Amino acid sequence: MQYNFDEKFLWGAACSGPQSEGNEGKQADSIWEYDSVKYPDKYYNQINNLTASDFYKNYKTYIKLMKEIGMNSYRTSIQWSRLINDREGTINKAGIQFYHDVIDELIKNDIEPMICLFHFDMPMYWMEEGGFENRDVLDAFADYAELCFNEYGNKVHYWSTFNEPVVIPEQGYLYVAHYPEVQDMKRAVQVAYNIQIASCKAIERFRKTNASGEIGIILNLTPSYAPENPTDKDLAACNLADLLFNRSYLDPAIKGEYPIELIEFLTGEDLLPTICDNDADLLKNNTVDYLGVNYYTPRRVKARTTTDDSSIKMPESFFESYTFEGQKMNPYRGWEIYEPALYDIAINIRDNYNNIKWYVAENGMGVEDEGRFRDEQGIIQDDYRIEFIQDHLAYLHQGIAAGSNCFGYHLWCPFDSWSWRNAYKNRYGLIGVDIYNDCALHIKKSGRWYKTLSTQHGFERRNEDDNNQS
């Protein structure tokens, strides 16, 4: 079967500043430089992000290879802590110039720059003041955003305020996986709410500047699925998980208000965040122009079958996950691979969110020890990654054919990057990075295939009958 996409469809990949650049040229730390250096044992092989993939020094080489593998767009992030040195707002002129240089180099190579303002990397000087728990930080974020719009607004046409805002409260304030490693659901809810307000404040500033283009947000959507033959309690648990992890971000970002069901739940559980007087107007008047969707794995949810004896309230206090025979898994991450969810996301956006324009901002497969798949020429034969992409694109194509307004697909990521506490344990890139050999670069088989995908605006795939006959 032939899967054709529009000739203007964006074929690209995504990364972030803290995962690629390294800290050269920075005058201030984010939480990642602080945490990965101070507590190295938390990180795989004790690898911090002080060098990362050395993009800061080698961005021209990386961008040349991005063009070579057919990317016509690249989403990355600006690091707040690279541009601004302290709480007083001192500007790092070298940081300002660096992002000008990167954006200019992308444009020169016919690669659309898509810029995110925040990718989990709170400056340490603001984390010391409470991070997003502190309302003052929301205004500081808006000031930083305005600086970016004024500097780069005539070059960048796709802005996003946050990448995966759910991850910040989820991993930092619930599951003790990111700094500051708090476990407090009420504080997590407050952080999540404040991030949405910060996003609206940034959008408000964007629309007051002369910046061109559009501004959106990138959400990590995990569709919730109840078991086969669910009970009413299973369905209720599944709906609650969807409210907490998906609709609590989709609704305010696109509709400008929170779901009534969610407000009632948070009120009943004494989890409602502190709200300021003008917040409702701020939400209503600063919805996004478009949506980025990161999709990796679904959420399998059923009603609790055991009593939650924990003294700490968590989302799992109200539901639990389940597995089933034949579940397709990525063993390196422990995540289910379920491609039809991308179609379900497309239809949900079409039917429930005004068919807002959107793109797949991340989708990818991390694999450990990829060096074992090198052929005699030293090229990593990552056919599994090609298959993963094709499987997901087939369902995305189906969603677009059904009328969903999707305008692009971005893989995570263009090159192997530092992945938080997993560091370089799992590799995701179309371009390999040898971090033990001065970050030497090599294009994987998937990178060459991606070039063909982009050039041909799609791909051809045999159906099962054809495969059986071969």
pLDDT digits (tens, 9 = 90+) for 126-138: 999 999 999 999 9
CA-nearest of 392, 151, 470 to 384 is 392
Q: What is the pLDDT of residue 307?
A: 82
Contacts of residue 50, defined as CB under 8 A and 6 or more positions apart, other chains included, come to: 22, 23, 33, 36, 37
The two tokens of residue 93 are 């002129």
Residue-range definition of the domain harbouring residue 443: 2-469
Q: What is the pLDDT of residue 458?
A: 98
In this prediction, what percent of the chain has a pLDDT beyond 90? 96
The whole-angstrom separation of Cα 300 and Cα 27 is 43
3-state secondary structure of 374: strand
Answer whether 147's CB lies under 8 Å from 209's CB. Answer: no
User: Exactly one of 164, 170, 336, 370 is catalytic; which is it?
Assistant: 164
Main-chain dihedrals φ then ψ at residue 207, nearest 5 degrees: -80, -10
3-state secondary structure of 217: strand
pLDDT at residue 439 tops 70: yes
Q: What is the pLDDT of residue 309?
A: 77
pLDDT, one tens digit per residue, over 426-436 is 999 999 999 99
Mean pLDDT in residue range 240-249: 98
Contacts of residue 376, defined as CB under 8 A and 6 or more positions apart, other chains included, come to: none
Q: Is 164 a catalytic residue?
A: yes
Which sign, positive or negative, has the C-alpha torsion 252, 194, 407, 215? positive
At residue 462 the predicted structure's pLDDT band, cuts being 50, 70 and 90, is confident
- For β-strands 10-14 and 73-77, DSSP reports them as parallel
User: Exactly one of 33, 336, 362, 370 is catalytic; which is it?
Assistant: 362
Mean pLDDT in residue range 263-292: 98
Instruction: Find the helix or strand (DSSP H, E) in which 407 lies.
Output: strand 406-412
At residue 466 the predicted structure's pLDDT band, cuts being 50, 70 and 90, is very low
pLDDT, one tens digit per residue, over 94-150 is 999 999 999 999 999 999 999 999 999 999 999 999 999 999 999 999 999 999 999
The two tokens of residue 131 are 């991070």
At residue 463 the predicted structure's pLDDT band, cuts being 50, 70 and 90, is low
Residue 328's region, left for phi above 0, alpha for psi from -120 to 50, else beta, is beta
Alpha helix (H) residue ranges in 257-320: 260-268, 279-285
Which domain CATH number covers 377?
Answer: 3.20.20.80
The whole-angstrom separation of Cα 147 and Cα 165 is 21
The whole-angstrom separation of Cα 61 and Cα 45 is 27
pLDDT, one tens digit per residue, over 385-415 is 999 999 999 999 999 999 999 999 999 999 9
Contacts of residue 449, defined as CB under 8 A and 6 or more positions apart, other chains included, come to: 386
The total number of structural domains in the chain stands at 1
The DSSP bridge partners found for residue 335 are 330
Q: What is the pLDDT of residue 159?
A: 98
Contacts of residue 291, defined as CB under 8 A and 6 or more positions apart, other chains included, come to: 216, 217, 218, 219, 253, 254, 349, 353, 356, 357, 358, 359
CA 442 to centroid of chain Cα atoms: 25
Average pLDDT, the chain: 96
The DSSP bridge partners found for residue 320 are 302
At residue 355 the predicted structure's pLDDT band, cuts being 50, 70 and 90, is very high
Answer whether 41's CB lies under 8 Å from 74's CB. Answer: no
The two tokens of residue 261 are 């069901």
Q: Is 362 a catalytic residue?
A: yes
The two tokens of residue 350 are 């079409």
The whole-angstrom separation of Cα 415 and Cα 444 is 10
